[in-house]
Amino acid sequence: MNTLYKNALNRTPQAVPPIWFMRQAGRYHKHYQGLRSQHSFMDLCKKPELAAQVALGPVQDFDFDVSILFSDILFPLEALGMGLEYTDHGPRLGFQLTSDNISQLGPVDKAIKFMSFQKEAVQATRAVLPANKSLIGFIGGPWTLFVYAVEGSHAGSLIQSKKMIPSFSLFLEKMYPLLKENIRLQLEGGVETVMIFDTAAGEVSPRFFQDWIQPVLANLAQEFPGKIGYYSKGTQPVFFNAEFKSLPWAGQGFDHRCQLTTCFDIQNKGFVQGNFDQSLLFMEKSDFKKELLKYLAPFKDLSLEKRAGWVSGLGHGVLPKTPESNVRLFVDTVREVML
């Protein structure tokens, strides 16, 4: 386990934060591109030895403190019989969920067995990772998976998903036990924590979040106390009420729309992860470094106790075609400045 990440989980004060990026093993990276030129995306995810190599690459190249299971949030939908293929235009399900066909989702026991490849990928990744690096897993948020099932993406106003919200509880009859066991599989495989990535959560109101999304998140957090982290794209502090904060989270990630130095009170336990604007990594090197230094300055002004728990990263995932040199410069600069 990585000492810096362990300290962040425990809110132990430290000068230099651990660093990991969402999508750090992805299309921007030559290591990934080399593997992808020889194998399909599906094989990279489902063949454990390949998933391990993809996850290992950015840790070797950029010295991230944490490695992430290489996989995809949509596999539980495939596991429940919705079909899934990856095309040049993104992932495509076999059909879109409606109130008429929701009963066609497959049996949970069969779906859990289907997801065993993720446990095997975790085991293979842990076997090749250096002992001083941490490993985390992830699942898609239940609401985000519902949105994908209904809309075929998580973009736009999510009209159909919101219209179908009375069917969300039927969806959860299958998806909740599957996600719970999927988390268990990943933990048994050797991840230290599991992130819930909820990319569609910011497209709803705070009241909608608290009425429909938060209850199922609360159940998952309580099933695995201190083991579940949460990240939601586009949400604001007003989304997270006292009940949400009281849950036994391992920590929480915030996107670049939030002022991260104020988020240590929003998430008052475990890590606080983020949240430099990922688009700024496309700037020219000197301009990028200026922006990064301005971003880091408020953290430098905080006492070690005030910023305890910080996990340095981006607001969202690394974008395709991001210059590798700026990824490396980010990691090196954070460590130099915060020391």
pLDDT of residue 89: 82
What residues make up the domain containing 168? 20-274
**What is the C-alpha separation between 197 and 47, in angstroms, rounded?**
22
pLDDT of residue 88: 81
- Cβ–Cβ < 8 Å for 220, 183: yes
For residue 227, the domain's CATH number is: 3.20.20.210
**What is the C-alpha separation between 207 and 197, in angstroms, rounded?**
20
With respect to residue 93, please indicate whether it lies within any of the assigned structural domains.
yes
Average pLDDT over residues 218-247: 97
Q: pLDDT at residue 204 above 90?
A: yes
Q: pLDDT at residue 155 above 80?
A: no
- Per-residue b or e along 285-299, where b marks 16 or more CB atoms closer than 10 Å to that residue's CB: eeebeeebeebbeeb
Taking alpha carbons only, the member of 217, 228, 231 closest to residue 194 is 228
Contacts 24+ apart (CB under 8 A), 80-89: 80/105, 80/106, 80/108, 80/111, 80/174, 80/175, 80/178, 81/105, 81/106, 81/111, 82/149, 85/42, 86/40, 86/41, 86/42
pLDDT digits (tens, 9 = 90+) for 260-317: 999 998 999 999 999 999 999 999 999 999 999 999 999 999 999 999 999 999 999 9
Average pLDDT over residues 205-233: 98
Lowest mean pLDDT across 45-59, 81-95, 171-185, 249-263: 81-95
If DSSP codes are grouped into helix, strand and coil, which group holds residue 76?
A: helix
**What is the C-alpha separation between 153 and 253, in angstroms, rounded?**
22
Q: pLDDT band for position 154 (50/70/90)?
A: confident
With respect to residue 295, please indicate whether it lies within any of the assigned structural domains.
no
Q: Residue count of the chain, please give it.
A: 339
With respect to residue 15, please indicate whether it lies within any of the assigned structural domains.
no
Between the CA atoms of 169, 171, 173 and 179, what dihedral angle is there, to the nearest 10 degrees?
-120
**What is the C-alpha separation between 142 and 275, in angstroms, rounded?**
23
Average pLDDT over residues 175-199: 98
Give the global pTM.
0.97
pLDDT of residue 139: 98
With respect to residue 186, please indicate whether it lies within any of the assigned structural domains.
yes
**What is the C-alpha separation between 50 and 34, in angstroms, rounded?**
12
Which runs of consecutive H residues, i.e. helices, occur in the chain? 3-10, 30-36, 41-46, 48-62, 75-79, 108-114, 116-128, 142-151, 159-163, 168-189, 206-208, 214-223, 242-246, 263-266, 285-301, 324-338
With respect to residue 333, please indicate whether it lies within any of the assigned structural domains.
no
With respect to residue 4, please indicate whether it lies within any of the assigned structural domains.
no
Number of domains the chain contains? 1
pLDDT of residue 150: 97
pLDDT digits (tens, 9 = 90+) for 101-149: 999 999 999 999 999 999 999 999 999 999 999 999 999 999 999 999 9
Average pLDDT over residues 85-107: 94
* DSSP-derived secondary structure letter, 258: S
Q: pLDDT band for position 30 (50/70/90)?
A: very high
With respect to residue 259, please indicate whether it lies within any of the assigned structural domains.
yes
Q: pLDDT at residue 242 above 90?
A: yes
Q: pLDDT band for position 90 (50/70/90)?
A: confident
With respect to residue 325, please indicate whether it lies within any of the assigned structural domains.
no
